[in-house]
Amino acid sequence: MAYLKLKRKQEDGRKQTIRAYAFDSRMENGKQIHFQVYNFGIVRDKRDALDRFNRWIKNYDKNATLKSASVPDPTLRDFADEYLVRNEQLGGGKRQAVMSLKHLTRLLGGYRLSQISRKIVLDYRDTRKTEVILQRGRNTGKLPSPKTINHELSTLSSLIRKALELEKIHEHPFLTIGLTLKKNFFLKVGSNPRPALTQAEFISLMGNIIEERSKVITLIYASTGMRQSELSNFRLDDIDLTQDRLTFRAPKTSNFRTQSIPSVLKPLFEKLLTHVPLRSGWAKRTPSQMEYVFCDSNGHRLQRPGYFFITEAAVRAGIQKHVTPYILRHSFASHAANQVNTWELKGLMGHTNIATTEIYVKNFKAPSRDNADRITNSLGINTGLIDLLVGNKDLKKLGNRKFITPLLHRGNEASGNVSKDREKMVPEVGLEPT
């Protein structure tokens, strides 16, 4: 008979999390073997776990579960749940893996793992390239990005490796054991410049945000470069006014980083420790609101702070760019890239790989005008030539003839019309007449 099992875990001194699982047992070679049959995820408490377990067990079929568990070559749909449970490396990327598996099971769910060949993978890739994205049942008119499709193919490769590790299959269906998908399976991802807001655009955006809480959220996004998930998990304990330090914990990378509090923002963070920003004004924090910086009246954190109002405010401000909370992170990087070096920017952005930071530097680092001026000066290019080319001055009125004279001389020589007056002008620039 299936039974409920709870696992409690506490990370970095934070609030304890409770995960609930359903287990069952079977007799094998005279021994009773326990195995997991369902994962309920994080629950609030034991009562919540029991409620979920009682609803789930009404439709639980032990015979069907044992039958699928004993099959050495399961279908992709049958193995998908076990892959999510058994893959410890997913970490903060589990949500993205779930979305990838949603499309993989939809198109390839009926195939057994040993049947997934190279042709099937290439057909899947070509099909996904032409599928229109549906959002809440509506046609958005957009196609999946190459990066999205590449992640789905990587998830498929990881799933097959996990099946080999668990001995669900005995050989890789289309490549030798231990190799990942080859590069020709993946689509080329274009390195387009990343959008960012200028100073004028950001001021205009702030001027078109009405609610008090929305203004605070937008200001913190732009001044710290926080990700949306980091701001959602931002706690009061992460604000250290004694050392003027903020701590950001990123579920995406399962890591944290610290940043100094800008002097101009210190009064804001001081008030956030004791008050909660509302749509209009501030309210003193209640005992239930002493965990998350941005929370509702019950103390529950905001799931997607700034997801809607920032885009609406940008439309009212007349900003042509599609402004989202992540664009504010790009804006932070665009201004920071011209103030700090690449390694400092890596720490500010919370990147694990310096190559990711170099993308921002390439996009946002302003090139040196002094270097460009020195190069053009060394070539002898001066304002006289440019004024002549763009028509700002007449040739006879040009005061600086040092560069223009040999240029005209060579041009007339090529046409065979070199006048005596022009020949006399040649020695003035240090060239021997031909």
Fold of 199-364: hpI Integrase; Chain A (1.10.443)
Residue 273's pLDDT is: 92
Residues in the chain, overall count: 434
pLDDT higher than 60, residue 107: yes
pLDDT tens digits along 381-401: 888 777 777 776 554 554 444
Alpha carbons 212 and 363: distance in angstroms, whole number: 32
Alpha carbons 82 and 195: distance in angstroms, whole number: 39
For 23, the token pair is 């287990």
More confident residue, 234 or 376: 234
Secondary structure (3-state) at 411: helix
pLDDT tens digits along 80-93: 888 887 776 565 56
pLDDT higher than 70, residue 260: yes
Tell me if the domain spanning 71-190 has CATH number 1.10.150.
yes
Domain residue ranges of the chain, discontinuous segments joined by + = 1-62, 71-190, 199-364, 378-429
CB 220 within 8 A of CB 257: no
pTM across the whole model: 0.57
For 360, the token pair is 């921002």
* pLDDT band, residue 404 (cuts 50/70/90): very low
Q: Which of 6, 9, 3 has its CA nearest to residue 22?
A: 3
pLDDT higher than 90, residue 104: yes
Strands (E), 119-233: 134-135, 138-139
Q: How far is CA 73 from CA 39, 81, 118, in A?
A: 22, 15, 18
* pLDDT band, residue 430 (cuts 50/70/90): very low
The gap from C-alpha 88 to its chain's centroid, in whole angstroms, comes to: 21
Same fold, 71-190 and 199-364: no
- Per the prediction, the chain carries an average pLDDT of 80
Residue 84's pLDDT is: 82
